């Protein structure tokens, strides 16, 4: 059996999520510095999610058809880097819309195919997934804290160069990961449509879409929201980091937790925490302790939810369907759910205010909880 390329996979995750750590919290601030209004910022930030609706399915089909997942990741990493360089040549709304759309089309190919490759390399030893994935969280922490403090002392334009460096790291590590052997499975005789038609599978995906929708205002306006209430960018970076530090802890604890709780229970708990978290952010911004506790809950709303979701997908989509399962999850949940959440937040932020915007996020998470309890039956 091929040895596990632990450090090469970990390095890719590190730079992939360092990019997200620089982009998600601070790109909205960069767009705000260009005098875009809340709706324009919501539209531009949602472009990444819209591309994740269509692109990953095409990349996943191509990967499963050719059996060359890593070659596709490598090509997508290079073209994503080249596309991103367009941000240095213009800053109008329409120009950035085109550049961000191109960058996201290629960038969205990488993560679901890397997830499928990692799980293939792990085989039956999926308990080690968390330790590999935790390096992505570490990359996010380094980026979000470091850039947060840098932006307190430097111009926001410096963000563009840091993002460029992280994308270069993605390219380098993408060429260091070997292809993983794809083994046959009993579900190979089924079509993806037949798997998706199972009530529990469909309910799981809709619930995850609602979770991604609920996070839309958080990823789009959280940093802007805190700045408006007087939090410094350095403190904002620390708050983002607190959430991810707690997320890392969950990645290492999940193997033990799975001995005590079922996947369904872990998923239900993560949705419960999301309801509480978004209400705390929306209505407790004036109390730093409430905001800090809300970030601690990131361990459940993202960390526990993500690992449990990966295990559910790995359970239902095996063999020749593995990459397609991962890319469908990315397209349907982060793509459609994230795009709807991003566009919704742009409208709601101006018309309803932050408090009610985050309250609707909590409602979406509550509906997802209902679906998990009602229809998803998996141990």
| Distances in whole angstroms, Cα of residue 109 to Cα of each of 52, 56, 89, 174, 184 | 8, 5, 25, 12, 23
Identify which of 190-199, 281-290, 347-356 has the greatest average pLDDT.
281-290
**136-145, 162-171, 263-272, 288-297: range with lowest mean pLDDT:** 136-145
Q: What share of the chain is helix, strand, coil (3-state, %, to 5)?
A: 85, 0, 15
Identify which of 59-68, 189-198, 350-359 has the greatest average pLDDT.
350-359
∠ CA 185-56-374, rounded to 5°? 65
**20-34, 100-114, 179-193: range with lowest mean pLDDT:** 179-193
**89-98, 242-251, 291-300: range with lowest mean pLDDT:** 242-251
297, HSE (Cβ side, Cα atoms, 13 Å): 21
DSSP E strand stretches across the chain? none
Q: Mean of the pLDDT values across residues 25-50?
A: 86
pLDDT at 277: 97
Contact (Cβ atoms closer than 8 angstroms) between residue 139 and residue 170 = no
b/e for 112-123, b at 16 or more Cβ within 10 A? bbbbbbbbbbbe
Say whether pLDDT at 115 is over 90.
Answer: no
Positive or negative, the CA dihedral 142, 144, 149, 155 is positive
Domain positions in the chain = 8-174+187-375
Radius of gyration of the chain (CA): 19
Mean pLDDT of the chain: 86
DSSP E strand stretches across 67-161? none
- Count CB neighbours of 147 within 10 A: 26
Residue of 279, 278, 281 whose CA lies nearest to 289: 281
Say whether pLDDT at 271 is over 90.
Answer: yes
pLDDT at 184: 56
pLDDT at 13: 94
What is the pTM assigned to this prediction? 0.77
pLDDT at 190: 65
**77-81, 132-136, 184-188, 267-271: range with lowest mean pLDDT:** 184-188
Q: Mean of the pLDDT values across residues 285-289?
A: 93
Structure tokens at 366: 């509550």
CA distance 308 to 271: 12
62-97: pLDDT as tens digits: 777 777 888 889 999 999 999 999 999 999 999 999
Q: Mean of the pLDDT values across residues 115-144?
A: 82
pLDDT at 319: 64
pLDDT at 208: 94
CA distance 208 to 330: 10
- The domain 8-174+187-375 is placed in CATH, from the list 3.40.50.1400, 1.20.1250.20, 3.90.79.10, 1.20.210.10, at 1.20.1250.20
pLDDT at 320: 66
pLDDT at 1: 41
CA distance 174 to 8: 8
pLDDT at 69: 81
Structure tokens at 254: 């999940």
Contact (Cβ atoms closer than 8 angstroms) between residue 350 and residue 148 = no
SS3 59: helix
Q: Which residue has the tokens 């050719």?
A: 66
What are φ and ψ of residue 292, in 5° steps?
-65, -45
Structure tokens at 247: 């997320």
Between residues 165 and 346, the one the model is more confident about: 165
Q: Mean of the pLDDT values across residues 43-51?
A: 82
Identify which of 122-131, 310-319, 327-336, 365-374 has the greatest average pLDDT.
365-374
pLDDT at 296: 95
pLDDT at 269: 95
Contact (Cβ atoms closer than 8 angstroms) between residue 117 and residue 70 = yes
Environment class of residue 229 by beta-carbon count within 10 Å: exposed (0-12), middle (13-18) or buried (19+)?
exposed
């Amino acid at each position: 059996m091929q040895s596990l390329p632990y450090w090469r996979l970990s390095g890719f995750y590190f730079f992939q999520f360092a990019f997200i750590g620089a982009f998600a919290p601070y790109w909205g601030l960069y767009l705000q510095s260009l005098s875009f209004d809340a709706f324009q910022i919501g539209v531009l930030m949602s472009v990444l999610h819209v591309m994740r609706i269509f692109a990953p399915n095409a990349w996943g089909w191509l990967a499963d058809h050719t059996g060359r997942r890593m070659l596709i990741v490598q090509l997508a990493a290079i073209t994503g880097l080249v596309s991103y360089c367009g941000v240095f040549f213009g800053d109008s709304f329409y120009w950035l819309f085109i550049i961000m759309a191109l960058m996201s089309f290629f960038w969205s190919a990488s993560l679901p195919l890397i997830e499928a490759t990692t799980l293939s390399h792990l085989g039956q030893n999926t308990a080690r997934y968390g330790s590999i994935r935790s390096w992505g969280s570490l990359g996010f922490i380094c980026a979000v804290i470091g850039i947060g403090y840098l932006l307190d002392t430097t111009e926001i334009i410096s963000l563009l160069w840091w993002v460029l460096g992280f994308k270069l790291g993605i390219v380098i590590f993408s060429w260091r990961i070997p292809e993983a052997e794809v083994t046959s499975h009993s579900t190979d005789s089924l079509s993806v449509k037949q798997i998706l038609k199972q009530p529990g599978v469909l309910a799981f995906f809709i619930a995850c879409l609602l979770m991604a929708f609920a996070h839309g205002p958080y990823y789009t306006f959280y940093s802007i929201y805190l700045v408006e209430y007087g939090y410094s960018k350095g403190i904002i970076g620390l708050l983002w980091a607190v959430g991810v530090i707690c997320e890392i802890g969950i990645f290492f604890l999940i193997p033990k937790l799975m001995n005590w709780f079922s996947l369904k229970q872990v998923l239900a708990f993560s949705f419960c925490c999301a309801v509480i978290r978004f209400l705390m952010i929306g209505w407790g911004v004036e109390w730093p302790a409430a905001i800090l506790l809300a970030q601690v809950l990131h361990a459940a709303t993202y960390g526990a939810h993500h690992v449990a979701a990966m295990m559910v997908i790995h359970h239902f989509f095996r063999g020749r369907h593995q990459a397609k399962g991962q890319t469908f999850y990315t397209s349907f949940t982060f793509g459609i759910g994230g795009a709807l959440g991003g566009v919704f937040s742009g409208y709601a932020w101006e018309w309803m205010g932050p408090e009610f915007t985050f309250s609707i996020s909590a409602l979406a998470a509550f509906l997802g909880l209902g679906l998990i309890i009602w229809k998803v039956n998996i141990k």
